[in-house]
Amino acid sequence: MSKIPRPSDFELQVLGVLWENGPLAARQVMDKLPDNKPRAYTSVLSVMQVMEKKGFLTHTMEGKTNIYRPSVAKGRVLGGMMRRMVDLVFGGKSTAVLQALLEEKAVSAEELTEMKRLIENAGSPSRSAKPK
């Protein structure tokens, strides 16, 4: 398995939008970026074209519009980054990561319920069930 480059923060946002929403045109990605910073369409398109050259994205044509989709799995990109962060910042302790997340950001009742479900299922053989 070849090593993929580490995506920039902006590239991670683009990948996150596509992982969450499925294939989209660059303008649709731009409208869904979570940081809500004003960006020129051409800037977003340019970054997405570079991401395609790096192997993060692929596209197909629908009419005159390029429709982009991730060409790397979420787990493949985030897995290594998360392991590295847990090891370097939290001494390898997943509980410390969870504690930091809960202290840093307000969590809705729905998110807490989902976290509990994930924790309960973490040790079970049927761990392959994906979160909602």
Q: What is the radius of gyration, based on Cα positions, of the chain?
A: 17
Residues of the chain with pLDDT > 70, as a percent, come to 92
User: Average pLDDT over the chain, rounded to whole?
Assistant: 89
For 24-36, give one letter per residue: b (16+ CB within 10 A) or e.
bbbeebbebeeee
Torsion angle (degrees, nearest 10) of CA 89, 91, 92, 95: -80
- pTM of the prediction? 0.76
CA 122 to chain CA centroid, nearest Å: 20
Residue 130 has pLDDT above 90, yes or no: no
Report the greatest alpha carbon distance in the chain. Answer: 51
CATH of span 1-92? 1.10.10.10
18 beta partners: none
Tens digits of residue pLDDT in 52-98 = 999 999 999 999 999 999 999 999 888 888 888 999 999 999 899 88
